[in-house]
Amino acid sequence: MLKNFWYAIEFSHAVERRPRKVTCLGQDFVVWRRRGGQVSVLSDLCVHRGGALSMGTLAGDDRIACPYHGWEYEPDGTCVKIPANPPGRGIPKKARVDAYPAVERYGLVWAYLGDLPEERRPPMPHFPEHDDPAFRAVYWETTIEANYERTMENVVDAAHTPFVHGTSFGNPDKPEIPDFEVTQGEWQAEADILLSPPPPKGLWSLLRSGPRPEHVVVTNGWYLPNIVKLHVRLPFGDLILYDHNIPLSQGRTQVKIVGYRNFFTGKWADGNAIKRIAKIFEQDRPVVESQRPELLPFDLSAELHLRSDALQVAYRRRRQQLIDQGWWVGGDDLVMGDVPRRQATVIAS
């Protein structure tokens, strides 16, 4: 798992005043909304006896009180009250928990999980649809018993579409993937891929006029560390999914999807849009959960690659560079199967 990035850790709508536990990179965090509306993220581990702050309560204006012995922490992680201490006794300097920079963007709460100073942090991706009034968003999440990199690569893998999604948007009669070019930057890569659409049915067929197009252009890509984009250019509009693959542990991933569309933009169509996302994901789930080895190999030659796997190959190469720079985290408890051990570190010290 890659540290030093901004990670979307929760939907904004799920974060209220009440402390909430979220997990990312195998670590637990407590997140809550402060009186002024701003969101704070702390390590969920009280330094006293390891109580879970997410089970605690809010105290004073913006403090969080541990449920075990009531130590109170400020949003910057400093402990300011130890109820068991008689009056006048000081608070140890070490009584603090890690605090993480947090911002809200695109309907999500993002936390910076790393130890780089602000000016050296990789940028957050830009989702232009979010502020475009022509688009409407839906939010959907699930947990999958698979490693986040397997889950992530699956979304940029166009060649599985006719097989895994043959009954939804893939066309089993046209499995060829024409060669495509990958445009790559430091933190992202994308490609326009031509897919052959199946005959339209249901609601979607109502939108079609004229002959069925031979190809649909799908702009597919990844943004480090864990986001994949799927932009389907349908004849009647655009469907853009940003898919966040949050590593809960090495073998479990929370998938949070934000789906934008500029057709059927009424609220009434949200249910249908969510159902489609869920249906397609459920077609992927059994395949991705059964991939072996569970973790993405570190050795590029451990699996075979075709031209149509170019986006995944680009990802694996870039990931290797970051691993070489020490950006990889994963401890003993996180290791699964007989995968080469990488350095074990905590995200922030």
Report how far apart the first and last C-alpha atoms of the chain are (Å, whole number): 17
Binding of residue 243 to Co ion (CB under 5 A): no
Q: Are 114 and 124 in contact (CB under 8 A)?
A: no
CA distance 153 to 165: 16
- Site track for Co ion across 272-301, x = CB under 5 A: ------------x-----------------
# of chain residues touching ligand FES (CB under 6 A): 9
- Among ligand FES, Co ion, none, partner that 107 touches (CB below 5 to 8 angstroms by kind): none
Asked if omega into 225 is within 30° of 0 (cis), the reply is yes
CB of 3 to ligand FES, least distance (A): 26
Q: Which amino acid is at 106?
A: Y
**HSE, side-chain direction, 13 A CA sphere, residue 43:** 22
- Contacts of residue 86, defined as CB under 8 A and 6 or more positions apart, other chains included, come to none
**Contact window for ligand FES (CB under 6 A) among 67-75, 160-168, 256-264, 309-317:** 67-75
- Among ligand FES, Co ion, none, partner that 284 touches (CB below 5 to 8 angstroms by kind): Co ion
Residue with tokens 């075990």: 68
In the bound state with ligand FES, the residue whose beta carbon lies nearer, of 71 and 260, is 71
Binding of residue 66 to ligand FES (CB under 6 A): yes
**HSE, side-chain direction, 13 A CA sphere, residue 151:** 29
Binding of residue 69 to ligand FES (CB under 6 A): yes
Nearest Cα to Cα of residue 240 among 333, 106, 330, 73: 106
CA distance 207 to 227: 30
Strands (E) in 39-158, as ranges, are 39-43, 57-59, 63-65, 72-73, 79-81, 99-100, 102-105, 108-113, 136-144
- Please count the helices (runs of H) and the strands (runs of E) in the chain: 5, 18
CB of 161 to Co ion, least distance (A): 6
Binding of residue 153 to Co ion (CB under 5 A): no
Binding of residue 329 to ligand FES (CB under 6 A): no
- Site track for ligand FES across 46-65, x = CB under 6 A: x-xx-x--------------
- Among ligand FES, Co ion, none, partner that 69 touches (CB below 5 to 8 angstroms by kind): ligand FES
CB of 278 to Co ion, least distance (A): 12
CB of 115 to ligand FES, least distance (A): 25
CB of 112 to ligand FES, least distance (A): 25
Residues that bind ligand FES (CB under 6 A): 46, 48-49, 51, 66, 68-71
Residues that bind Co ion (CB under 5 A): 284
